[in-house]
Amino acid sequence: MHTNQHNSVVLIVDDQPDNLDVLVNYLADSGLELLVATSGSEALELACERTPDLVLLDVMMPELDGFQVCTQLKVNPNTATTPVIFMSAYSDTARRLEGFKVGAIDFVTKPLQREEVLARIQAHLTIVEQQKLLQAKNQQLEILNAQLTSEIDKRQQAESARDLVDEKFTSLTKREAQHWQIENFVGQSQSVIHLIEEVRSLQFAPNTNVLVLGESGTGKELISRAIHYGSKRATKPFIAVNCSAIPADLADAELFGHIKGAYTGATADRHGYFVQADGGTLFLDEIGDMPLALQAKLLRVLEDGIVTPVGGRKSQKVDVRIVAATNINLQEKVQAKEFRQDLFYRLAGYQISLPALRERTGDVSLLAQKFVSILAEQMGRESCEISVAALNALNRYHFPGNVRELKNMMEYALIASRGQNIDVPHLHFMQPIDDVASEVINNTPTQAIPSPTVSSDLFNNQNQEAMLLEHAKHQGKIDNTSAQQLLQVDHSRASYLLKKLHKEGKLTKKGERRWSYYELA
The lowest-confidence range among 62-76, 249-263, 477-491 is 249-263
* Predicted pLDDT of residue 287: 92
User: Is residue 460 predicted with pLDDT exceeding 60?
Assistant: no
Mean pLDDT along residues 389-418: 90
Question: Contact 8/32 with Cβ under 8 angstroms?
Answer: yes
Question: Given this model, what pLDDT does residue 346 score?
Answer: 92
Q: Is residue 111 reached through a cis peptide bond, with omega within 30 degrees of 0 on the bond before it?
A: yes
CATH architecture for residues 362-520 = Orthogonal Bundle (1.10)
- In the chain, pLDDT over 70 holds for what percent of residues? 86
Q: Assess whether pLDDT exceeds 60 at residue 446.
A: no
Average pLDDT value for the chain: 82
- Nearest CA to 412 among 441, 445, 443, 379? 379
- Band (pLDDT 50/70/90 cuts) for residue 262 is low
CA distance 263 to 30: 66
93-97, 163-167, 275-279, 328-332: segment of lowest average pLDDT: 163-167
Confidence of residue 352 (pLDDT cuts 50, 70, 90): very high
Q: Find the mean pLDDT for residues 386-411.
A: 90
pLDDT reading at 212 higher than 80: yes
Picking from 87-96, 215-224, 300-309, 390-399, which range would have the lowest pLDDT averaged per residue?
87-96
The CATH architecture that domain 3-132 belongs to is 3-Layer(aba) Sandwich (3.40)
Tell me the average pLDDT across 349-375.
89
Span 355-367, average pLDDT: 88
**What's the pLDDT score for residue 30?**
78
Tell me the DSSP string of 164-191. Answer: HHHHHHHT--HHHHHHTSGGGS---SHH
Supply the pLDDT for residue 459: 42
Distance in angstroms (rounded) separating the CA atoms of residues 222 and 116:
95
Lowest mean pLDDT among 71-85, 93-107, 154-168: 154-168
Where residue 23 falls (left for φ over 0; alpha for ψ -120 to 50; beta otherwise) is: alpha
Which of 8-12, 20-24, 247-251, 356-360 has the lowest average pLDDT?
A: 247-251
- How much is the pLDDT for 297? 86
Buried b (16+ CB within 10 A) or exposed e, 112-121: eeeeebeebb
Q: Which residue has the higher pLDDT, 215 or 153?
A: 215
Vertex 383 angle, CA 378 and 386, to 5°: 125
* Domain spans of the chain, in order of start: 3-132, 174-355, 362-520
Which residues sit opposite 210 in a β-bridge? Answer: 323, 350
Spatial separation of the C-alpha atoms in residues 212 and 147, rounded to whole Å: 51
Q: Where are the alpha helices (H) located in 211-305, listed in sequence order?
A: 220-229, 251-256, 273-276, 292-304
Per-residue confidence (pLDDT) for residue 255, from 0 to 100: 83
Q: How high is the pLDDT of residue 23?
A: 85
Asked if the model's pLDDT at residue 258 lies above 90, the reply is no
pLDDT band at 202 (very low <50, low <70, confident <90, very high): very high
Which pLDDT belongs to residue 181? Answer: 53
CB 321 within 8 A of CB 239: no
CATH of domain 174-355: 3.40.50.300
Domain 174-355 shares a fold with domain 362-520: no
